[in-house]
Amino acid sequence: MGVNTFYYGEGMNEADFIATTEDERAAASTATASDDNSHRGGFRPIDPAVGDRGGPRYGEFIEQVRLFMDNVRLACPTPEMGDDLIDTLKDLNAKLASVQIDEWHTPAGTRIDLPARGNITLPPFTVDNVDKDAGAVDMTVTFTNYHLGGNNAAHGGQVAVAFDDIGGYASAVATNGICRTGYLKVDYRSVTPLNTPLKVRAWADRVDGRKAFIKGTMHDGDRLCAELDGLFIRLNPGQP
């Protein structure tokens, strides 16, 4: 698997989603949060320079943040440690506040070489395969302690988050465009374990114009954990 294939996978037509022309790259690299003229809808092509964004150790930084979230979820600090942690977090937040930029340029969500595009909002997943003809994607997702629902199982909302993004990915493949979710139904068939690589498959059951009817499954080995039934609608140009 080559660089960037975590996100759009082998066989994807990069030109459909990634800024490839000089004009697109210029628009992507000069746009700012207040630059409405360059806003081309709810999603826009990604500047292919994203691999450099955030520095060479950005992926490691995100892994540490994810570990931090896991550790917070099950931590019970002493009062003294709580004082210390608050001071440390104030320092960290001041540092991060000094490097805030707009959503189109922040590495989180645009680093297509990292699991879940480096987006800590999403459970980490990697792309195993993209089948453009079938409008199907295969991913591996791992929920960790941060995603705990109860009794060592993933929170149902986190399962839906994974399905929303991976279903959105399949719909992009199936419709050749960026989609928004119309509806998303999840059937929880059995408990979804934490800290276990799970196989997710999402595919277009039917495409009707802008509408992609996406089905999906999440498996722990042979065991079916959850199923997806969603409608994703391709955005028109400029649509928010």
Q: Which residues ranging from 102 to 161 are in contact with ligand 3IX (CB under 6 A)?
A: none
What residue ranges in the chain does DSSP mark as E strands? 125-131, 136-141, 148-150, 153-154, 179-188, 198-208, 211-220, 223-234
Cα 184 to Cα 74, 78, 181: the distances in Å are 30, 41, 7
CB of 25 to ligand 3IX, least distance (A): 14
With beta carbons less than 8 A apart as the criterion, state whether 10 and 208 touch: no
Q: Which of residues 188-227 bind ligand 3IX (CB under 6 A)?
A: 210-211
Nearer to ligand 3IX, 107 or 168 (CB): 168
Residue 12 C-beta: closest distance to ligand 3IX, Å: 5
Nearer to ligand 3IX, 154 or 230 (CB): 230
Residues between 28 and 67 with contacts to ligand 3IX, criterion CB under 6 A: 43, 46
Question: What binding mask, one character per residue, do residues 159-188 give for ligand 3IX by CB under 6 A, x or -?
Answer: -----xx--xx--x-----x-xxxx-----
In angstroms, give the least distance from the CB of 50 to ligand 3IX. Answer: 9
CA 69/CA 120 separation, integer angstroms: 9
Q: Which residues contact 145 (CB under 8 A, 6 or more apart)?
A: 70, 71, 73, 74, 194, 195
Length of the chain: 240
Question: Distance between alpha carbon 33 and the CA centroid of its chain, in Å?
Answer: 21
Which chain residues interact with ligand 3IX by CB under 6 A?
7-8, 12, 17-18, 43, 46, 164-165, 168-169, 172, 178, 180-183, 210-211, 231, 233, 239
